[in-house]
Structure 1
Amino acid sequence: MANILLAVTGSISAYKAADITSQLTKLGHQVKVLMTPAATAFITPLTLQSLSKQSVLVDLMAEETPDQIQHIDLGKQADLFLVAPASANTIAKLAHGFADNIVTSTALALPTNVKKILAPAMNTKMLEHPATQNNIETLKSYGYQIIPPREALLACGDQGAGALATIEIILTTIQESLT
């Protein structure tokens, strides 16, 4: 099975990373979870550690093994890099090469053969903003596959596009990407 890096960002949909982690693990994949600091406001690293059976990385500067540089070595071991949910902030950082946290630093250091999937989740207005749309197009040009968000009643009370794709769609996209 595959070595999957699951990057969780600061979106209300971050709680769904628990289900994604659980389902991928049940399918036999090794799941290593990376979180932005903002993601930890929505779901704890301990939850994802319990489901993945691996330590969760949040702090870019906390090196677990002195002879390795985590954000470099993670990419060397990965078959697939999944950002779910992908906030507007992280999408912008990825599109412009920012490397200020474990998620963005790892993404920037990924070898070209690692498959990259992004599942945006945010408010409709944020999603539809030209800057976000341009950033998504830029990421496509970098080889990211985008799983479109779905239309739903969002956490903010707005109705529209921006809800994280269903877990089933995310899992299907991963399986198709790996085969």
Structure 2
Amino acid sequence: MANILIAVTGSIASYKSADLVSSLKKQGHDITVLMTEAAREFIQPLTLQVLSQNPVHLDVMQEPYPDQVNHIERGKETDLFIVVPATANTIAKLAHGFADNMVTSTALALPDHVKKLVAPAMNTKMYDHPATQANLKTLETYGYQIISPKESLLACGDYGKGALADLNTILERIKETLDEQTL
């Protein structure tokens, strides 16, 4: 089975990452979770630690092993990196090479062979904004595959495209991506 690195960012959809971690773990994958500070406002790291059966990595400056650089080692050990949910802020940081938290630092240090997925979740206006669309196109040039959000009633009360893709859609894209890697 695969080593999957799941990056959780600060969206109301962050709570859905628990189901993703649980489902992938039940399939036999080794799951490691990274979180931004904003994600911690929506879901507790302990939840994801229990479900993944691995420590959750929160702080790029925390180095639990003196002989390793944590954000570098995480990337070396992964087959697939997925940001779910991916906020407009994190998408912009990834597109422009920012490395100011555990998620973005690890992403920037990923080896070339690692498959990368991004599942956006945000308000429709934020998703449709030309800056976000340009950032997503930039990520595609870096080898990221985008899992499009769905059209739905959003947490803010607006209706439109921006809701995190359904769990089954995300799981299917992960499976397809991992299957491509083994061909």
User: Same fold, TM exceeding 0.5?
Assistant: yes
Shorter-normalised TM-score: what interval? over 0.9
Inter-partner Cα distance in structure 2 for 1:176 and 1:64:
33
Identity %: 66
Give the match's secondary structure for 2:85: strand
Q: Following TM superposition, by how much is the alpha carbon of 1:18 offset from its aligned partner in structure 2, in angstroms?
A: 0.2
1:14 aligned onto 2:19? no
Q: Deviations over 1:67-91 (max 9, x none)?
A: 0001101111100000000000000
User: Which residue identity is paired with 1:35?
Assistant: M
Inter-partner Cα distance in structure 1 for 2:122 and 2:47:
22
Inter-partner Cα distance in structure 2 for 1:173 and 1:66:
36
Q: Following TM superposition, by how much is the alpha carbon of 1:13 offset from its aligned partner in structure 2, in angstroms?
A: 0.2
Residue matched to 1:2: 2
Inter-partner Cα distance in structure 2 for 1:80 and 1:42:
24
Q: In the TM superposition, what are the counterparts of 1:26-175 in structure 2 within 5 Å?
A: 26-175=26-175
Q: Give the CA RMSD over aligned residues.
A: 0.4
Q: Following TM superposition, by how much is the alpha carbon of 1:64 offset from its aligned partner in structure 2, in angstroms?
A: 1.1
- TM-score normalised by structure 1 residue count: 0.99
Q: Deviations over 1:131-178 (max 9, x none)?
A: 000000000000000000000000000000000000000000000100
Q: Deviations over 1:34-56 (max 9, x none)?
A: 00000000000000001000110
Inter-partner Cα distance in structure 2 for 1:101 and 1:39:
12
Inter-partner Cα distance in structure 1 for 2:112 and 2:59:
24
- TM-score normalised by structure 2 residue count: 0.97
- Structure 2: where are the runs of 5+ without partners? none
Inter-partner Cα distance in structure 2 for 1:122 and 1:64:
33
Inter-partner Cα distance in structure 1 for 2:55 and 2:47:
10
- Structure 1: where are the runs of 5+ without partners? none
Give the match's secondary structure for 2:13: helix
Q: Following TM superposition, by how much is the alpha carbon of 1:119 offset from its aligned partner in structure 2, in angstroms?
A: 0.2
Q: Following TM superposition, by how much is the alpha carbon of 1:59 offset from its aligned partner in structure 2, in angstroms?
A: 0.8
Counting matched residue pairs gives 179
Inter-partner Cα distance in structure 1 for 2:70 and 2:172:
28
